Amino acid sequence: SALSFRSLRPTCMPVGVALRGLLCARASGRGKWRQVRRTAFSSDESPSPRLPSPPSWPAPMGHIVREEVVYSRYLTVFDREVEFAKEDAGDPNTSGGNVDGGEPIRIKYDIVGHPKSSFQFAVVFPFHPSTPDRPAEVTLIREYIQGANAMGYSLPTGSFDAQKHGSLLDVAKDEMAEEARLEGGAMLPLMKDEAHAGFIESKWCANRFKPFLCVDPSESTSPPARDVEEFSIQIERMGLDELRRVMYGGNMMVPSIIGAQMALDYLEGAGMLAARGVEGGKGG
């Protein structure tokens, strides 16, 4: 019978260990999941080029002595062991985070990411400047958030695909067309350092993202088809006061909050925003 996540009790075991058990349980039944062939390497080897290792940027602090893939579908889970040299291995109870030396230590970590997307994604802020009869607005999407099992807000967001994207700028354009049904406009990167790898998604996630601003896009005449998991997408165009309520209301994705705040800062600096409080409410 199909394995139900609802039947699993909460556990405090590491993610990698829990997933190993889950994979073995599924493999023993008739389900569609298959146990992932582990891609392991030691300090003298390199990971499989078919499934790249999470990058270290700007420079590695620890020495990766072992890494293996324990699960891969939409996300990939890496079981990684890192050795820290004497000069980086201070006592966690006395050093206060300072590098004060000690014996080399090895620590095992669970890391997740999207190796098939080169661990990169883009977030785009579609901005509609004010007109004589309408205040400035932004287009958001509202969709199903699987981690919360509920609807939530985000900016158009998508992963890099080497087969169709030359850069994250291309990703931003494609996702705006696919998710928000918008095209054209002036697309601007919001990170000043173009050589930077991007914002890291979270401490234990190897994915990084770059935010973009698109000024004055128009409705797409022939939008691309959406993926099946995007069945729930709703497009909402709203004023900037309403946007701020959404940003700080707890139901918006953190990368989208960062992208929105950077876009608002840029627009304010460029003199493209009205004074706060008179920007208008939610648009139709």
pLDDT score for 10:
36
193 within domain boundaries: yes
83 within domain boundaries: yes
| 261 and 129 together in one domain | yes
Q: Name which residue leads in pLDDT, 274 or 116.
A: 116
Q: Residue 222, SS3?
A: coil
CA 157 centroid distance within chain: 8
Q: 54-58, 104-108, 203-207: which has the minimum mean pLDDT?
A: 54-58
203 within domain boundaries: yes
166 within domain boundaries: yes
- The total number of structural domains in the chain stands at 2
Q: What average pLDDT score do residues 82-104 get?
A: 68
| 104 and 172 together in one domain | no
Containing structural domain, residue 90: 5-113
| 49 and 70 together in one domain | yes
| 164 and 212 together in one domain | yes
In one letter, which amino acid is 176? M
User: What stretch of H or E contains 202?
Assistant: strand 199-202
280 within domain boundaries: no
* Final residue of a structural domain among 71, 88, 113: 113
| 69 and 192 together in one domain | no
* Rounded-to-integer distance, Cα 147 and Cα 102, Å: 40
pLDDT tens figures, 121-143: 999 999 999 999 999 999 999 99
| 257 and 202 together in one domain | yes
| 93 and 127 together in one domain | no
pLDDT tens figures, 171-184: 999 999 999 999 99
Token pair in block for residue 53: 């290792």
pLDDT tens figures, 185-219: 999 999 999 899 999 999 999 999 999 999 999 99
278 within domain boundaries: no
Provide the 10 A C-beta neighbour count for residue 110: 17
CATH number reported for the structural domain that contains residue 171 in this entry: 3.90.79.10
pLDDT score for 98:
52
User: What stretch of H or E contains 236?
Assistant: strand 234-239
* Rounded-to-integer distance, Cα 76 and Cα 67, Å: 12
* Rounded-to-integer distance, Cα 41 and Cα 26, Å: 25
| 140 and 43 together in one domain | no
* Mean pLDDT for all residues in the chain: 81
| 39 and 108 together in one domain | yes
Q: Rounded to 5 degrees, what angle do the CA atoms 258, 204, 84 make?
A: 125
pLDDT score for 24:
39
For residue 122, give Cα distances in angstroms to 114, 233, 273.
13, 18, 24
For residue 128, give Cα distances in angstroms to 57, 116, 137.
35, 33, 5
Give, rounded to a whole angstrom, the gap between the first and last alpha carbons of the chain: 47
> Is the alpha carbon torsion for 61, 65, 71, 74 positive or negative?
positive
| 171 and 229 together in one domain | yes
pLDDT category at 226 given cuts 50, 70, 90 is confident
281 within domain boundaries: no
Q: What average pLDDT score do residues 205-234 get?
A: 91
* Rounded-to-integer distance, Cα 61 and Cα 57, Å: 9
Phi, psi of 118 (to 5 degrees): 55, 25
| 68 and 138 together in one domain | no
- Answer yes or no: pTM beyond 0.85: no
